[in-house]
Amino acid sequence: MQATIALLPGDGIGPEVTGAAERVLRAVADRFGHTFTLTSHLIGGAALHAGQPPLPDDTREACQAADAVLLGAVGDPAFDTGTSERRPETALLELRQVLGVFANLRPARVWPGLEDGGAFKSEFVTGADMLIVRELTGGIYYGEPRGVAADRQSAFNTMRYSRPEIERIAEVAFRSATERRGFVTSVDKANVLETSRLWREVVSEVSARYPDVKLEHQYVDSCALLLATNPKHFDVVLSGNLFGDILSDEAGAVVGSLGLLPSASIGGRGGLFEPVHGSAPPIAGRDIANPIGAIASAAMLLRHALGAGPEADAVERAIGGALTAGCRTADLVADGGATPLSGSAMAQAIVERVADSAAG
């Protein structure tokens, strides 16, 4: 197979974790006899520091031409007070829209060996395995009108969802559920918001096409509580853009570390793959960030954008193997616990296992 992958390292720990994912992709290419052309482009704060807009034209064009895009993170405190046009995050929102990737898949499960790793009691989290299906190109992130009043005494955003937008993301959730445990939890705030009432109505209609999938509706506040108290309840969690953003960080805490979570943004051409964690400025450049979120995102890229299922399985097995063997980055080690591995040592442990993996 020949494929072109656009790498967008971005800000903070982005370059470290995409570097790790790149090494894994090269190991996959060697092991399975593929040719991957990897090109690197500026985005976010990195682009702003270079005197360019957050999403430079050549970056956008490279992403549109590539078979898939792998992004590290965007976000830089140097630009925290900027207007939208001068903020790193704007680049990511624009890129998602340009690529048309309306479906954001965020799998979160407790890896064997990490049951005791997080802040939650292991008997509650052991076996938790969910897929958050987050709508990614609509809702309050994109709704118009938006703005700040000229006197800066008020500001406003618009939460808006159309029927087709809800229907297509619900389809993704129900289809995913048929390949999992057949249970969809749809998240909304229908007791307060009109967008949520329409959401509930359309999701229920789509559900009628999937008689083998069970559907429940939950308000986002009680869903957040249940995610912390009984995460094993969930199979597929279907949500709008804002609620999915919040719940997926919470899911990171439940499975032991946000640094473990990958994501795939699909629905358009190719796809955009990125760890769920952000740029984490305080730990950037110290080689302590967990690269697993980015490496697992590369596995999702192989599976969803390149149709390379066995290769994706090999990468996920390599991650599991490294964790089972006791490899732990700092985020996975309790205070006073074992000395953690650096991010690059963790990446190396995974690369070696990919290189040694049996053919799929």
Name the site residues for Mn ion (rule: CB under 5 A).
245
**Burial class, 129, CB count within 10 angstroms (exposed 0-12 / middle 13-18 / buried 19+):** middle
E strand or H helix at 336: none
The whole-angstrom separation of Cα 102 and Cα 108 is 19
Decide whether 76 or 245 has the Cβ nearer to Mn ion.
Answer: 245
Phi/psi at 190 (nearest 5 deg)?
A: -70, -15
Query: Which amino acid does the sequence have at 337?
Result: G
CB 357 to ligand IPM: min, Å: 29
By a kind-dependent CB cut-off of 5 to 8 A, residue 349 interacts, out of Mn ion, ligand IPM, none, with none
Helix, strand, coil shares of the chain as percentages rounded to 5? 45, 15, 35
By a kind-dependent CB cut-off of 5 to 8 A, residue 69 interacts, out of Mn ion, ligand IPM, none, with none
Decide whether 30 or 80 has the Cβ nearer to ligand IPM.
Answer: 80
The whole-angstrom separation of Cα 316 and Cα 161 is 35
Q: Is 30 a catalytic residue?
A: no
Are the C-beta atoms of 216 and 184 separated by less than 8 Å? yes
By a kind-dependent CB cut-off of 5 to 8 A, residue 267 interacts, out of Mn ion, ligand IPM, none, with none
The whole-angstrom separation of Cα 346 and Cα 13 is 15
CB 218 to Mn ion: min, Å: 20
CB 136 to ligand IPM: min, Å: 7
The whole-angstrom separation of Cα 19 and Cα 28 is 14
Catalytic option among 11, 189, 287, 331: 189
Q: Is 214 a catalytic residue?
A: no
Catalytic option among 58, 80, 116, 221: 221
CB 77 to ligand IPM: min, Å: 13
Interface residue list for ligand IPM (CB under 6 A): 74-75, 89, 92-93, 245, 276, 278
How many residues are there in the chain? 360
Decide whether 93 or 236 has the Cβ nearer to ligand IPM.
Answer: 93
Catalytic option among 11, 67, 141, 287: 141
Decide whether 74 or 349 has the Cβ nearer to ligand IPM.
Answer: 74
- Tokens 């995102």 sit at which residue? 297
Catalytic option among 129, 214, 249, 313: 249
Decide whether 89 or 287 has the Cβ nearer to ligand IPM.
Answer: 89
For 214, 238, 289, 318, 319, the CA distances from 112, given in Å and listed in that order, are: 27, 25, 20, 13, 11
Q: Is 67 a catalytic residue?
A: no
CB 211 to Mn ion: min, Å: 34
Q: Supply the residues annotated as catalytic.
A: 141, 189, 221, 245, 249
